[in-house]
Structures are given as C-alpha cells and as structure tokens.
Structure 1
Amino acid sequence: MYYRRKMAMLALAGIGFGKDIAAAEWELTGDLGQQLEYNDNISLNTVRNDSVAGYILMPSVQASRKTGVLDIAFDGQGDIRRYDDSLWDCDNYRLRLNNEYRTRRNEFGLRAEYNVSCSYAQQITDTGLLVPNSQSEEYLVAPQWNWQWTARDQLVLNALYSKTSYSNPSSGIVSDADNVFANFSGNDTYSASLGGNHEWTRRFTSTERIYYSNIQYTGLDSSIQNASAQNESTQHLVGFELGANYVINREWAVNASGGPVWVDGTGQNLVGTLPAQDSSWTVGSNVNINLSYNDKLTKFSTGYSNSVDPSAIGQTLQNHSVFVKYSYQLTRHVLLDLSGDFINNQSINGSQSTGSQFDRLYFTTAAGIAWEPTRNWRLKGSYIYSWQDYQQDLDVQNFQNLQGFQNVGTSDSNAVMLFLNYSWDGIRNSTGKGTGKGTGKETGKEVNRNYE
C-alpha cells in the first residue's frame, strides 16, 4: 500500500499543466559531498557524553526542463552517515518534484515530496530530543495558484497535505522498570491559505493572507507495546497575517509579516500512559522579520521568527527563533562563514495535567572557512558549538531509563567537520528558437546544506 501511495503521489506531481511548446531548455546536474565529523556529545545528553566520529556521504542529482509556459524541476538527495558507534548511523533521502505552468495572468504550481529521514538536525529543530535510529517518513503535496489581478495586484491561493510517521526501535528508549515508551508521534496536516500582494512602488510591496490548518496526531504504531494507551488528538489553527517587503537600496532589504493564530485543542503527551489534555482555544502568533545585506564581498542576514507548528511529541508548539548569518570573501578563493541560532520551543497551551508542558532553549554557533580552488570544488572546515536547556514538567525520577528524558537539564556539545564537495556542471541542451522566461525554481542546489 505504501509503495502504491508513493508512486501515485509522484505520478500526480509529474503531470504537467496545459499545452507545451516546441522551444525548450533542459539540464542535468549533480553534486557529491563528503564529510568527516567528530562530535563529543551528539545526543546532547545530560547523563553521559555520546561522542562519535564518522563519515558522511551526500550525493544529489538535479534535472529541469523549461519552456515559455511550463517548468518542471526534479531533485533527489541522499545523506548517508556512518559512525564508529553504529547506534548513530543515519540515512536520509529526499525526492522532490516541482511543476509550474504559466498563462498571461495565471500561474499554476504543484510541488510533491517524499522524504525518509533520521536526521538529527531535524530532531534538534523540532524538539531537541535526539533518539538514535528513529526514522521518519513524509509525503507532501502542495498545489498553488497565482492570479495577476491587476498590474500591481496579485491573488495567491495555496493548499497543502502532508503525512509524517515515525518508526522507533525499542532499544534505548524503553524503561525496563516501567515498561512504557517515549516515542515520537506522527501527524497528518491539511492546510489552505488565501492571500495577495500589492506593489505600491518598485521597492515596496504589501502582503496579506488568511489560513487554516488541521493537524491530526496519529500516535504510535499499533504493533508497539502500550500503543493503545497513546491517545490521538486533532487540532485546528486559524489565523491571518499582514506583511511588507521593502528594498532599502542596492545592498539592504527588509521583509516582515505577522498576525495572530487561534489554536483549538491540545496534543497528546510525550508518554502515552498520561491522559489527554482537554480541548480549549488558545491565541498564539506567527511573526517573521528578516533584514539582509549583500555586496561584492559581504553577505549578512538576521531575523526573528515566531510560529505555531506541530511537533514529534504530539503537541503543537510555539517556536521562537533568532538567527544571524555573516560571510566575507577573504580572497578570491577563500570565504569566511559565521552563524548563530537561538530557539525556544514551548507548548502552545499549558495545562494542569502532569507532563503536558514542554519548554526548551537551544543555542548553536558555527564558524567555518571554505576554500574554492575552482568553480567545481569546495573544501570547508568548520566548528559548531551547541547548548541546550530542556525542561519537562514530569516526575522524571520515575523515567530515568528513558532515552528521551536523559536530555532533561542543560547540556552542550562541540563538533568539528571537514567537508569536500564536487559540483558537476552536467548536461544542457536547448531546442527551438527560444526558452521563454522559465524560473527553474528549487532545482536542489541547496543539497549540501539541508542535513549539515
């Protein structure tokens, strides 16, 4: 059944809209990245340090075809990690397909993805609970329609369906004393939004949108012991946003958006034997602010984000994050990179039920130097420091053997990496008299950054 579902989604995403034309341009490119890594506490464990050394292989391929009215882009990525402690071995794969069809005043898009992941970077972003060999599987389909209402006004309609499920081995996350599980929870998410933008000047554009999301937490697999105790829940999110994009000058640009979001209901608890939380309406917020600078030698960006998102622990979280990125071209072939991220995850609705409130602080900073001797080769050395303060309102004394609860408290880690990448220029070909204005969006060139 899963195999048929995968094939059906990819076939659906591969259907082009409308009538093609003779003039076309297509290309096939690829990347191969390799990385050596040492991390003195990969799990951010407060009880012991899980130090590992390993090798990472990151292949990717990108293919695209553009015409005057139709663009099709595909990319496939892999992230294969092998460590001296095989418990932390990890495989990630992603297939993504984008279609875009344009008429004089309309633009139709369809994006489909299939992801298999045990990425620890994903777990850090989500909850900070790092479980080895925990694998997630995700399907995603997202259609979009843009209508150029007037010369300055555009209407945007989006929809999305995603299904995420987790498989967790019992080793390392089951308590012998209590015989209960601290497993991740999958979810089915349906969302739709209607928005628009108005171009006041060439530099200033205002935006607005209303949206609705339905999140159904799917709990544990029925084959897992005590799965019947894990409660399922459904949440509804309704909100609206106002925003603006402003190009200050050639180097500086700023964009901001924000608005309230109403959440109906609360999710299940991290430990399935605890009772479900009562449904109630809570007001959260979605905010995004970004400031960027870009000249010939320097790139700088900083921003703040406040969003309401589903999580792997079966709760919808209010996620606050601040980031700073800076890069400077020291010489023609040498680039300096600096970055920092701060994240705060909190349950969207605190409850009097024991164990319902999730609260985490996470900070990471990175420094790296990249050497690009040619256009195709890139060698980079980097250092990453991470710190976490994780609190869970639960009597953890009774669950000390659980892998998930060994993160309670403060912990940190240090990691050093040596990364080598080769970019293949690939094959390009054009047919007909012209290629139109194809956008070629998201052909996967960010492959080597997604799992770092």
Structure 2
Amino acid sequence: MYYRRKMAMLALACIGFGKDVAAAEWEVKGDLGQQLEYNDNISLNTIRKDSVAGYVLRPSLQASRKTEVLDIAFEGLGDIRRYDDSNWDCDNYSLSLNNQYKTKRSVYGLSGGYSISCSYAQQITDTGLLVPNSQSEQYRIEPSWAWQWTERDKLSLIGSYSKTSYRNSFVGVAFNNQGSLNFSGNETYAVSLGESHEWSRRLTLTGNLFYSNIKYTGFGISALNATTQNLFGFVLGGNYEIDENWSFNVGGGPVWVDGVGQNFGGVSQEQNSSVSLGSKANIDVTYDGKLTKFSAGYSNSIDPSSLGQTLQNHNVFANYSYRFTQHLLLDLSGNFSNNQSIGGGQSTGSQFDRTYFTTVAGIAWEPTRNWQLKGSYVYSWQDYQQDQNLQNLQNLRNINVGTSHSNAVMLFLNYSWDGIQRSR
C-alpha cells in the first residue's frame, strides 16, 4: 500500500505539472503479444538441465496528452509467463509516467515508475543467477531540467531516486550453518550535470559530471549488513553523423568507487574500505538504410547488482536486420558480456565474476501493419570462474561455478492497436 500511495502521488504531480495554455491532442494505443516457448535449460544450470515449455502473454497500453507546452505520457506493461513446471511461472507488471513542460529556452521533466518483476532477462543482465519465484519490487522518480544556453549549447541537470527490494530470494550460493544468502536490494540517489555543444551540423560534443550514492539493503544472515558505496566521475564524448545513413557515437571517462559492497565472509567493513577506480565507456556505429539496419559497438558501465556488489560490466554487441520484402524481415543479434565486482573486499573477491554470451536469429512475417508473426532461436552460454582461494570455503562457494548453456525456440504473435486520437 505504501508504494501504491507513492505512485498515486507521483501521478497527481505529473498531471498537475505545468499550465495547459494550448489546444491538446490525446492518444490511446496498445499492443497484445503472445508467445509459445521451449527452453532446454532455463536456469543455465551446470549440473542438470531445467527444461521447460510455456506460454507468454504481453499486454501493453500507452496514453498521452500533448500541447505546445505540456506533454504527459503513461504506459502500462505486463509480461505473464506460465510453464509446464510451475516453479518457473513469472508475473511482471510496470507503470510509468513521463511529463515535460516546455518554455522558450527550457524543458522541465518529471518521470517515475513502479514495477513488480521476476524477469529472467533482468536476472541474466544483473548476475546470471536465474532463480524461480524471486520477485523484485522497484519504484523510481527522476526530475530533470534542460536549458538551451546558446544557439549551439545546451545544459542539462538530472536527478534520480530509486529503491529496489526482493522477496523469496535464495540465490544459489552454498552456506554453512550460518544460513543462506539472499538477493540484496538497493536504494540509490544520483545526480548528473551535462553539456552538449553543436560543433557543426554533423558533429555534437558532449560532457557529463555525475555522482551517485548506493546503499545496499542486504538481509538473510548476520554477516550481511547494509553497506554504502559512492560513485563519482565524468564522461566526455561526441556524436558524428557520417552521412544520411551512417552515424558514430563515442564517449568515456573514469569512475571512482568509494566503499565496499556486502561482505559475504564476515570480514569487517573497516578492513576493506577503499577507493577503487573503474570506468564508463561506449562506442557504437549505426547504419539505417532502406532495407538494411545495422549497429555494433562496445560499452563499459558500473552498476549496482542484486548481490550487494557494484559490478564493472563490459559489453560487446552487434545487431543486423534485412527486409527481404515488404512483409518479410530477418533479424540477427549477438551479445558478449563480462562482469567483474569492483570495490569489493577480500572475502568477496571474484566469486561472482562471469562471462556471458547470447545470439538470436529470427524471421518475422508482417502480413499487415498491425500484425506480426515471428519465429526465433536463442543460444546462451555462461561461465563462472571462482578464485581458487575461495573454493575450499564452503560458506563462500558459488555453486554455479563452471560453464553452462541453453537453447530456446520461440513463436511470437503480436497485434498493435492503432488506438484513439482526439484533438481539441
């Protein structure tokens, strides 16, 4: 009830933000997707394969109201999964609001959201520890301000607050008589100051200063106490439009992490407290043609995880699509990730460092503008390598150590509702 009251207050704030002085345009539209799926090892288990077959229902609804000075948008999403093994049943729901109020030189924004999730895609991105019936709850709010300083320069100031908590959250780490390790929620405050300069019609240079405070809210055993980490750094970069089809984007900078994450082994916080150096970086190239679309690149980011550890995430990706005909489309994608704990103590070390790879091939048929039928194949591979010094400590042992893989086939049918539009 507490979180629902928060969202109600947020909705009222967004709806009442700004002054409606112009004619308004209303729009409501939605989608309904259904999917049949088979996965021969949904948990990426290294010992036995957890094969499942199931059905997925994905409804969504979007509503917006626009004037010359005020834009308000609402979106509701659902992802409901039912499998022949009910342990893997999963319900995901989210609500989000986005509001913008525009003046001659400024844009004021206020966005927020609330979600309940047990998404396995999110678990893969986060830690690679796939656990059934592990539900997270999150709410967030983000005020922003953008100011057109000069004709070529724009300043932006963005603040954000988010809180994530977990329920029924055993994660697959062996513990002795101390008990079991649970997923750790976090409470995060962040602020960033950015500037962009339009050097030419094709080249834009950017810079960003940021700070965030992450408080992990671990629970489950006495060795897990709430810990705090502070991240601060800067990123410099730019975007270059090579021609009407090709574009190139690059950015990067250092990140300092002050503090440590959760101490699984009970080593005192004071012994491990330190400042660690990480980095943020991205480089990508994009091609958008009449029949062909292509993108590839590398990104490097520092993010909080559900293990109470801040992770340095390296990611290499490539996406390709080709439209054979007006109604037939080929999609290919690949993603390689490496995750390493940063700012952790001696006892945590590299026990959750991992390498992950996935590739997807799909064919989509679009008989009309509103309907799409798509078949796809997904291959995933994961490798956990634990520090040799930790393997003999039963209260620290990651039972997912080793390599695992899975194969999945999916048949997806989606209908897009054009919705209702009104102007006054």
TM range (shorter): over 0.9
The one-letter code of the counterpart of 2:377 is: Y
8 Å Cα contact 2:29/2:420 also seen in 1: yes
Partner residue of 1:10?
11
Partner residue of 1:280?
274
The Cα of 1:396 is off from its aligned counterpart by: 4.9
The one-letter code of the counterpart of 2:78 is: G
| Residues 294 and 2 of structure 1: CA distance in aligned 2, closer, same or farther (over 3 Å) | closer
CA-to-aligned-CA distance 1:168-193 (integer Å, 9 cap, x gap): 256x8586963521211000110101
Unaligned runs of 5+ in 2: none
The Cα of 1:395 is off from its aligned counterpart by: 4.2
Partner residue of 2:216?
217
CA distance in 2, matches of 1:360, 1:341: 14
The one-letter code of the counterpart of 1:30 is: G
The alignment status of 1:251 with 2:238, answered yes or no, reads no
The one-letter code of the counterpart of 1:293 is: Y
Partner residue of 1:308?
302
The one-letter code of the counterpart of 1:140 is: R
Partner residue of 2:227?
233
CA distance in 1, matches of 2:244, 2:404: 42
8 Å Cα contact 2:155/2:194 also seen in 1: yes
CA distance in 2, matches of 1:154, 1:260: 23
CA distance in 2, matches of 1:289, 1:334: 30
Highest relative contact order (Cα 8 Å, sep 6+), 1 or 2?
1
| Residues 397 and 331 of structure 1: CA distance in aligned 2, closer, same or farther (over 3 Å) | farther
The alignment status of 1:341 with 2:335, answered yes or no, reads yes
8 Å Cα contact 1:83/1:89 also seen in 2: yes
The Cα of 1:392 is off from its aligned counterpart by: 3.4
CA distance in 2, matches of 1:264, 1:327: 42
1:417 to 399, 405, 410: 410
- The 5-angstrom pairing of residues 168-179 of structure 1 reads 168=168, 178=177
The alignment status of 1:200 with 2:194, answered yes or no, reads no
The Cα of 1:6 is off from its aligned counterpart by: 3.3
8 Å Cα contact 1:180/1:273 also seen in 2: no
| Residues 343 and 397 of structure 1: CA distance in aligned 2, closer, same or farther (over 3 Å) | same
8 Å Cα contact 1:333/1:373 also seen in 2: yes
8 Å Cα contact 2:69/2:102 also seen in 1: yes
Name the SS for the 2:340 alignment partner. Answer: strand
CA-to-aligned-CA distance 1:133-176 (integer Å, 9 cap, x gap): 10111111011100001111111111010001111256x85869
- The 5-angstrom pairing of residues 50-449 of structure 1 reads 50-168=50-168, 178=177, 180-220=179-219, 224=220, 226=221, 228-269=222-263, 271=264, 275-276=268-269, 278-349=272-343, 351-353=345-347, 357-393=351-387, 395-396=390-391, 399=394, 405-431=398-424
The Cα of 1:201 is off from its aligned counterpart by: 1.0
CA-to-aligned-CA distance 1:53-80 (integer Å, 9 cap, x gap): 0000000000001100110011000000
| Residues 176 and 218 of structure 1: CA distance in aligned 2, closer, same or farther (over 3 Å) | closer
8 Å Cα contact 2:172/2:399 also seen in 1: no
The alignment status of 1:38 with 2:31, answered yes or no, reads no
Partner residue of 1:443?
none
Q: Please give the TM-score of this superposition, normalised by the length of structure 1.
A: 0.89
CA distance in 1, matches of 2:368, 2:79: 24
The Cα of 1:3 is off from its aligned counterpart by: 3.4
Aligned-pair identity in percent equals: 65
Corresponding residue pairs, total: 421
8 Å Cα contact 1:31/1:422 also seen in 2: yes
CA distance in 1, matches of 2:328, 2:34: 19
The one-letter code of the counterpart of 1:161 is: Y
The Cα of 1:397 is off from its aligned counterpart by: 6.1
Q: Please give the TM-score of this superposition, normalised by the length of structure 2.
A: 0.95
The Cα of 1:15 is off from its aligned counterpart by: 3.1
| Residues 176 and 141 of structure 1: CA distance in aligned 2, closer, same or farther (over 3 Å) | closer
CA distance in 1, matches of 2:261, 2:132: 24
CA-to-aligned-CA distance 1:206-255 (integer Å, 9 cap, x gap): 001111000000112xxx5x3x3311110001101111011000110011
CA distance in 2, matches of 1:268, 1:69: 46
The root-mean-square deviation of aligned C-alpha atoms, in Å, is 2.0
| Residues 82 and 155 of structure 1: CA distance in aligned 2, closer, same or farther (over 3 Å) | same
CA distance in 2, matches of 1:336, 1:207: 34
CA distance in 2, matches of 1:274, 1:168: 26
CA distance in 2, matches of 1:381, 1:140: 35
The Cα of 1:5 is off from its aligned counterpart by: 2.8
CA distance in 2, matches of 1:131, 1:335: 34
8 Å Cα contact 1:73/1:97 also seen in 2: yes
The one-letter code of the counterpart of 1:416 is: V
